Amino acid sequence: MKLQAVLWDVDGTIAETERDGHRIAFNLAFEAHGLPWQWSVERYGELLLVTGGRERLLHDMATRSDAPSMTGERDALARSLHVQKNELYAQIIQAQGIPFRPGVQNLMEECLARNVRMAITTTTSRSNVGALMRAHLGESWKSWFPVMVCGEDVAQKKPNPEVYVRALQLLKLNPLDTLALEDSPGGVAAACAAQIPVVVTRSVYFDNATVEGAIAIGPGLHQRTGWRPLAPEAPCTNHIGLDDLLTWRDRMEHTSQFE
Ligand code: XBP
Ligand code: MG
């Protein structure tokens, strides 16, 4: 059965945007608001369990004695910080750039060449997707992704499957005609709950995380070593391509990772 669409998670899967993009932008927004708060690399890793930047801010504020005590004030501060964070994130992307993970653009180009549609399935804000994609694919980037479901488009963010369910509706496809690429346990849970086969490329923040339900887990699309199950034999390429995704999808070996 042909693969009709590849569904791309963004943060962590397409690029390592969390540590060097969103985290830095949050810290700059704290500074700009005159707040003495700073999220270390380690603390941000803990906070990533909360998806959505505004939700992450509210979660962190609940642990701070110096955050506003009134709910309304807290909400207003989280909103204001989040708006500014996204502006700063776009500036960081423009000024210094965050590269696509190796092998990502290769697979995107292969999808285009072989008429496999692509969708963006992310819980980040639409503006953040635009900033990243424009920087790498140019002004016509939207034509690469006929379907895009972002944080604003859903009531419930990952690990809720809503992002994926919505993408399937817009693509008018059954889950088994598609395949998702993810990096986080929450993202995998969301795809699995929508019955979509999911392949995991490990990102810096979820390098050792326990991931349940993926059909394959590996270090990245740029290499054929280190995958479970093993990447199929392919003497002519170093990358993971559509044929590999198809082989894994057709075998549907559910891989669990416990170490
Ligand atoms: C990752 C997220 C997002 C980003 C921040 O999304 O959880 O919240 O960290 O983005 P995904 P916003 O891996 O699904 O792409 O501040 O725009 O929410
Ligand atoms: Mg991710």
90 alpha carbon, closest ligand: 1
pLDDT greater than 80 at residue 30: yes
Would the CB of 125 count as within 6 Å of ligand 1? yes
**Could you tell me the distance, in angstroms and rounded to a whole number, from the CA of residue 87 to the centre of ligand 2?**
20
Active site residue 207: no
Average pLDDT, the chain: 95
**Could you tell me the distance, in angstroms and rounded to a whole number, from the CA of residue 235 to the centre of ligand 1?**
37
- The confidence band for 234, taking pLDDT boundaries of 50, 70 and 90, is confident
Active site residue 9: yes
Would the CB of 51 count as within 6 Å of ligand 1? yes
Q: Kindly report the backbone phi and psi dihedral angles of residue 242, in degrees, each rounded to the nearest multiple of 5, phi listed first.
A: -60, -35
182-233 pLDDT, tens digit each:
999 999 999 999 999 999 999 999 999 999 999 999 999 999 999 999 988 8
Q: How far is CA 199 from its chain centroid?
A: 12
Would the CB of 178 count as within 6 Å of ligand 1? no
128 alpha carbon, closest ligand: 1
At 96 the pLDDT is 83
At 255 the pLDDT is 65
At 259 the pLDDT is 41
At 137 the pLDDT is 96
130-185 pLDDT, tens digit each:
999 999 999 999 999 999 999 999 999 999 999 999 999 999 999 999 999 999 99
Ligand 1 pocket check: which of 41, 123, 129 to mutate, most ligand atoms within 8 Å of Cβ? Answer: 123
At 26 the pLDDT is 98
At 57 the pLDDT is 98
pLDDT greater than 50 at residue 35: yes
Q: What percent of the chain has pLDDT over 90?
A: 92
- The confidence band for 120, taking pLDDT boundaries of 50, 70 and 90, is very high
CA distance 123 to 138: 22
Q: Please, what sign has the CA dihedral across residues 104, 105, 107, 108?
A: positive
Q: Which amino acid is at 130?
A: G
Ligand 2 (ion): which residues have CB within 5 A? Answer: 9, 11-12, 183-184, 187
At 258 the pLDDT is 45
- Most confident by average pLDDT, 190-194, 232-236, 248-252: 190-194
Would the CB of 23 count as within 6 Å of ligand 1? no
Region 37-59 average pLDDT? 97
Would the CB of 203 count as within 6 Å of ligand 1? no
**Could you tell me the distance, in angstroms and rounded to a whole number, from the CA of residue 32 to the centre of ligand 1?**
21
